Chain A
Amino acid sequence: MTLSRRMLLQVAVAGGAAAAVATPLSSARAALAAEPVRLLIGGQTPPSFVPGLRAALASAGLLADQRGGAMDAVAWLQARPGRRLIGLVDSADAVLVRELARDGRLRWLASGHHSQRSDDHFHAVDSLPASRGLADVLAEANGDWAPVLGRALGQIAAGRWQGAEAPGRPTGSGQGGVLSFASFVIVS
């Protein structure tokens, strides 16, 4: 592991606590900005997920091109240290990503499953150091949870996640039917 990666991860893993340490944080953010971020979404990913994500990442250089699917995305991630993959995909792609990312080098900053039923939503979020508090934030979201998740994953990927602070409650009703997704932020 290189020094810059270690610093990046220190910030990402420690989240808000690390934000108090000015120099490493700024260095880590610079390192983050140097490597691109790729987004993996599916055909049914709620459109409202993406704007919040883009806003949270700001200048971190989100890649717009998602062609190639889950296998291609993980291969891209593994090709170079410091890359980040953010996803909100269906359960099939989620399994693929999870299995392919088992290489001893990829770090999971966030991971969760999300279901939308009528006007209610359910979230099972892995408890990971870099995304502590994400489950609480999603639980407090009103009907349209996708922008909340997008903003949160963007902040997590950018090393700016403040787990204790809820990013606000969006308004909006549920999407009806049953939709199911898995989300993640993975760093190489």
Chain B
Amino acid sequence: MSSKYIALPKGVSEQAFDAAIKEYQAILGEDNVIIQEELLVSYNKIMIPSPDEEHTPSAAICPSSTEEVQKCIAVCNKYKVPVWPISTGRNLGYGSAAPASRGQVVMDLRRMNRILEVDAELCTALLEPGVTYQQLYDYLQDNKIPLWLSCPAPSAIAGPVGNAMDRGVGYTPYGEHFLFTCGMEVVMPNGEILRTGMGSLPNSNTAQVFKWGYGPYLDGIFTQANFGVVTKLGFWLLPAPPAFKPFVIRYEDEGDISAIVDTLRPLRIANIIPNAVVIVHALWELGSIVKRADYFTGTSSIPDDVVKQMTKKHNVGMWNVYCGLYGSPEQVDVNWKIVQGAVKASGKGTLLTAEDVGDDPVFKYRADLMQGKMNIKEFGLYNWRGGGGSAWFAPVSQARGSETHKQMAMAKQILGKYGLDYVAEYIVGWRDMHHVIDLLYDRTDPAEMKKAHDCYRELLHSFAKEGYGVYRANTGFMDEVAELYGPVKRSVNQKIKNALDPNGIIAPGKSGIWNRGGKNK
């Protein structure tokens, strides 16, 4: 190896990087500046079908406070060293901790893991980026605070700040996570600290209760973006409801998907069902508990008739709809009658409660998620095909039944071309619907990794032609996705980047946003 580093930031000489590393060490201490290859393994790219070397970090730095972040950002500006901030770095299926491009320094904020405030009356929290869902859950339990958080799956080791900043979703009525944030502290690229909303007003105590403040609402531009480093984020938490009734509706036929959406959308929009309606395909339902090889060893997509056999054997639906009712017992009773009536009128589906399914572990898993109880069971999906490859493709559509048939047909045709399986779920958020497909593949096989890469690309472009854009993208495809959203949006993003971060030091390439000349540097 010609350099003592496993990679260097683009356009930065080894000599300049030596100097930057020394300054980081002076700020953070040697133990919190990581340059050794053996220690950086956990920051390397995993899962996504993109060449490892394109995402190799040059180093990782681990500040423990906002002040240390500010000092590190000053060093970055001095030496033009780009940093890739992560909170817990567990954005699995979208790129994990690895940077979008080779040589960036990972700014790992895991040491900033303080729960700064939880207000049980106003149902708010103020968190640092390194706080994990499990940590917040334990805090609420230990202190007997009757509030629920909302988490994605699997999430015990992931964190609320990173997930909300990437506009992730969860399964409680507060499941649109960014919607339920309130007030940010951001270290700007010039080192200044911005507090958004009411947080900018000295002596205000309303930063976590009123989102908008005065003038333009800025919080959104820091999500899925690279205009600053968010070092604190306020959240609204759900008061624990007196009654909670989870249920599942099982449907036998894949073609039922259209009726499912049209039956449940009105209940969701009217908040009869206040949380996201999660419509889980059989392969997602079973994929985390069984292995593909036990049912099918061919190289094509798993045939529909085999999937059907699996549903019979394991007593699950081809589609399995999970949602819950929340409120007082009286409210839940009334809403349950409305749900029962809607399902009966549709003439499809078997409606089951917790009492009906007994100790079904899959139902319990989903019921827990809908109460903000996190776990790691969905990691089992990585065993479905094996080999550690995963990329989430998640196009957004209107919540209409007619959209589902079209999307499912397109997805299955393209996946079939590459021999990958339709491991999918639809999530009816409110008026929108996410169609989340987990491209699971064996990354030990270069041919299969190429297939997964090409499949993702074809899905991306084919869906975009029909007007379906993804709501998140892995770090290997951020430029392509940004291109699909059009030149004006991309240009505006770049103008903001140039204005706020002229040196392009914060997460260059995040969401396809580069400062002027940054991409080709």
Contact = CB atoms under 8 A, between A and B. Distances in A.
- Are chains A and B native binding partners rather than an unrelated pairing? yes
B317 to A, nearest CB: 24
Contacts of A126: 41, 44
B39 interface: yes
B46 A180 contact: no
A44 B36 CA distance: 33
A114 interface: yes
Interface string B168-197: 000000000000000000000000000000
Given A96-B379, A113-B443, A101 B293 contact: no
A181 B388 CA distance: 8
B266 interface: no
Interface in B405-447: 442-445
A92 interface: yes
Interface in B380-404: 380-383, 385-388
B443 A95 contact: no
B383 A91 contact: yes
A57 to B, nearest CB: 20
Interface string B94-105: 001100000000
B41 A90 contact: no
Interface stretch (A16-24, A29-37, A76-84, A102-110): A102-110
B357 interface: no
Contacts of A91: 382-383, 386-388
A98 B46 contact: yes
A91 B438 CA distance: 15
A124 interface: yes
A111 interface: yes
A130 interface: yes
A53 B352 CA distance: 49
Interface string A111-126: 1011100000011101
Contact of A178 (B31, B44, B297): B297
B508 interface: no
Given A115-B387, A182-B388, A108 B382 contact: no
B388 A128 contact: no
B382 A102 contact: no
B154 to A, nearest CB: 9
Contact of A99 (B90, B108, B442, B443): B90
A71 to B, nearest CB: 8
Interface centre among A9, A103, A130 (most CB of B within 10 A): A103
A92 B38 contact: no
B34 A104 contact: yes
B36 A124 contact: no
A101 B383 contact: no
Interface residues of B, number: 40
B444 A128 contact: no
Interface string B248-260: 0000000000000
A182 B31 CA distance: 28
B287 to A, nearest CB: 11
A102 B97 contact: yes
Interface string B346-385: 0000000000000000000000000000001001111101
Contacts of A177: 293, 297
Contact of B36 (A98, A107, A178): A107
Interface residues of A, number: 39
A129 B444 contact: no
B379 A178 contact: no
B158 to A, nearest CB: 9
Interface in B11-54: 31-32, 34, 36-39, 41-44, 46-47
B292 interface: yes
Nearest to B60: A104
Contacts of B92: 95, 99
A21 B376 CA distance: 45
B132 to A, nearest CB: 11
Nearest to B33: A104
B478 interface: no
B269 interface: no
A99 B380 CA distance: 15
**Residue in A71, A101, A102, A124 with the greatest tally of chain B CB atoms within 10 Å:** A102
Contact of A102 (B42, B381, B386, B387): B42
A49 B63 CA distance: 41
A11 interface: no
Contacts of B385: 178, 180
Contacts of A179: 293, 386
B9 interface: no
A55 interface: no
A136 B108 CA distance: 34
Contacts of B277: none
Interface of B: 31-32, 34, 36-39, 41-44, 46-47, 60, 62, 89-90, 92, 96-97, 108, 110, 157, 292-293, 297, 376, 379-383, 385-388, 442-445
Interface of A: 9, 13, 71, 90-96, 98-109, 111, 113-115, 122-124, 126, 128-130, 177-182
